[in-house]
Structure 1
Amino acid sequence: MAESQGFRIRVRAPIHEVWHALTDAGSMRIWLSEHAVADLPRRYEFWGRYTPAGDAPAQKLLMAEGNVLKFAWEVDGTETVVEFKLSEDGEGTLIDFSQTGLPDFQALLADPDSPLGMMHTFWALAVSNLVDHVEGRPITARCDLTSPRMREEVRIDAPRGEVYASIADPAEFTRWFGARIEAEPHVGGRWAMGSLEMDPRPAKIVDLVPDGKMALAYEDGIVATWELEDSGGGTKLTFVQSGFSDEKPPYGSWMGWLSGLAELRRFHEIDTWIPMWVDVHLEGTPDGLITIDGK
């Protein structure tokens, strides 16, 4: 286990608005969880179908003052400590997030869908929705961890051809997704997160329809599909994962993809887009994998 994993993100909203969204139960039920209680400085709890191991609340508030929120969260028998620290950034806000006790990169690859393994992508999706909520945008999606159905429809205010290019072109995909993508953009071509040279088990592009569809198949049988349709001057993107056992859906992977779709929306809809991600710390991550400068 790594001592602490975390990230820094930027929010285009004043610090008091971010703090309110972070610590108000009504706001939490929009961006974070199905159920929430926030009675500071005594309680900070959340649970439900959008929360890993969310049958009941498992958090204990440790601190909520000076724009620092810290709570203990027992996850699958492991006591972790989560911290949000807010600071002003011009007219906006920086959020520094950390959680102790999480697996490092190699352990995450070995078991990404364990409750602890899912913490990485759970928080990536949650804070993506937090940013959109605070900035006055509807959230992109939430992952129902009680359902084996993995299908999400997202409307993007951009022409279908532009959205398709940002998915099918690996250089464009890398810009908004925040991780290096290498691919051979044709049916039968390889697709890898990181490097084709270093990935012994790349996905295969099994469907590629200009301005309409891309599908990736992995060795374990999982297929990820993006389908695009015109929608009121913009684009409806339908993302589907299939090919897995209903008894063990790959929720960790799904939350990661959904957090990426949130940034894809921002990429196309915000005129002065820069990544919300400023820094990401995941111990053991290969050099060059994380790319969050937006170039």
Structure 2
Amino acid sequence: MSEPLTVNVRLAAPVAAVRHALTDPAELRVWLAEHAEVELPHRYEFWGRYTPEGDAPHQRLLHADEHVLRFAWLLDGVETTTEFTLTPEGEATVLTLRQSHFDFAEAMSGSSIRGVLQTFWALSIANLAARLEGGPLLPRTDFTAAELRAEVTIDAATERVWTSLTDSEQASAWFGYPIGIEPWVGGRYAMGGFESGQAAKVVDLEPGRKLSVDWGPIGVGTWELADSDGKTRLTLVQSGFDEGNPPYGAWTGVVASLFELRRFHEMADWQPIWLPVEMPAGSPS
């Protein structure tokens, strides 16, 4: 069933700076899309290989002011609606994203490109945050390719990063969702925690260096660590999936999570940028 997607995030920049990053085409080409053209209040378009169905621009601007940006976006034959709202919070900004026509079943099955919307925006907003903080951006998903590979450098010792990848409590903290991990070959890797009743399987493990998890139809995800002058080079690869239907949604979500993994290690007073979403009165929890 299609349902609206809502995301709240605290960005370390004033509203004017966030709005500039959201509406300046040169900025959009850095953190969002391969191509972007903006002429407010008439045009807001982005496309290219880092955009779902990015063969051409499929957006239609609906509204733009100092605090709200709203556009229609045609995806898989359906006109969806995307809205950004900017709310000042001291020297920071709370950005609220509302995206229509997100269907979790489509995300799980890969039956429609709309299924990638949640993780596409998670990665895009993580890169917006990195851009505003002046830090390195995460690799963007190439929706035209079947090779799923990403590499980041984390300013922390390899043994610390390894622990955060294999310890259930630490992994749950930076990922922002319960994860149960049994760090041995044959062990469970359970998104939602062990009590969720569903788990992937650890199929390869070299302590301090390599972890591979078999996710079934979407393939095997491998995390590989290497020392790099006291820092950690982390390489993430997804393999063994149907190349005719790459698991772009799941892959993009894992890459997006690397933003908080890096901040978890590099910030002494780390707090996630993602904020709880308040449900309207009477809404089911």
Which TM-score bucket, shorter chain as reference? over 0.9
RMSD: 1.8
- Per the alignment, do residues 221 and 83 of structure 1 end up closer, same or farther by CA in structure 2, a change over 3 Å counting? closer
| Structure 1: distance between partners of 2:254 and 2:108 | 18
Could you list the per-position Cα deviations for residues 42-83 of structure 1 after superposition, in whole angstroms to 9, with x for gaps in the alignment? 100000000001100010111110311000111111111100
| Structure 2: distance between partners of 1:119 and 1:109 | 8
Q: CA deviation at 1:217?
A: 0.8
The question of whether the paired residues in 2 share the 8 Å contact of 1:13 and 1:93 is answered with yes
- Map 1:65-214 onto structure 2 (within 5 A): 65-103=65-103, 105=104, 107-108=105-106, 110-112=108-110, 114-200=112-198, 202-214=199-211
User: Residue type matched to 1:91 in 2?
Assistant: E
Q: SS of 1:144's equivalent?
A: coil
The question of whether the paired residues in 2 share the 8 Å contact of 1:184 and 1:191 is answered with yes
| Structure 2: distance between partners of 1:17 and 1:252 | 29
The question of whether the paired residues in 2 share the 8 Å contact of 1:61 and 1:71 is answered with yes
| Structure 2: distance between partners of 1:231 and 1:14 | 35
User: Residue type matched to 2:228 in 1?
Assistant: S
Could you list the per-position Cα deviations for residues 8-45 of structure 1 after superposition, in whole angstroms to 9, with x for gaps in the alignment? 00111111111100110000001100000011111000
The question of whether the paired residues in 2 share the 8 Å contact of 1:225 and 1:240 is answered with yes
Counterpart of 1:260?
257
| Structure 1: distance between partners of 2:202 and 2:65 | 49
How many residues are paired up?
A: 281
Q: SS of 1:118's equivalent?
A: helix
| Structure 2: distance between partners of 1:73 and 1:219 | 32
User: Residue type matched to 1:176 in 2?
Assistant: W
User: Residue type matched to 1:261 in 2?
Assistant: L
Q: SS of 1:171's equivalent?
A: helix
Q: CA deviation at 1:279?
A: 2.2
The question of whether the paired residues in 1 share the 8 Å contact of 2:218 and 2:247 is answered with no
In the alignment, is residue 223 of structure 1 matched against residue 220 of structure 2?
Answer: yes
Percent of aligned positions that are identical: 48
Counterpart of 2:28?
28
Counterpart of 2:10?
10
Higher relative contact order (CA 8 A, sep 6+): 1
| Structure 2: distance between partners of 1:219 and 1:58 | 33
The unaligned stretches of length 5 or more in structure 1 are 288-295
Could you list the per-position Cα deviations for residues 62-111 of structure 1 after superposition, in whole angstroms to 9, with x for gaps in the alignment? 111031100011111111110000011121110011011211x3x24542
Q: What TM-score results when the alignment is normalised by the length of structure 2?
A: 0.94
- Map 1:219-258 onto structure 2 (within 5 A): 219-220=216-217, 222-258=219-255
Q: CA deviation at 1:197?
A: 3.2
Q: CA deviation at 1:166?
A: 0.7
Could you list the per-position Cα deviations for residues 216-252 of structure 1 after superposition, in whole angstroms to 9, with x for gaps in the alignment? 0123261001000001220000000000122221111
The question of whether the paired residues in 2 share the 8 Å contact of 1:6 and 1:281 is answered with no
| Structure 1: distance between partners of 2:168 and 2:277 | 21
Could you list the per-position Cα deviations for residues 151-189 of structure 1 after superposition, in whole angstroms to 9, with x for gaps in the alignment? 111111111111111101111111011111012222111
| Structure 2: distance between partners of 1:54 and 1:84 | 20
| Structure 2: distance between partners of 1:221 and 1:25 | 34
User: Residue type matched to 2:120 in 1?
Assistant: F
| Structure 1: distance between partners of 2:145 and 2:108 | 23
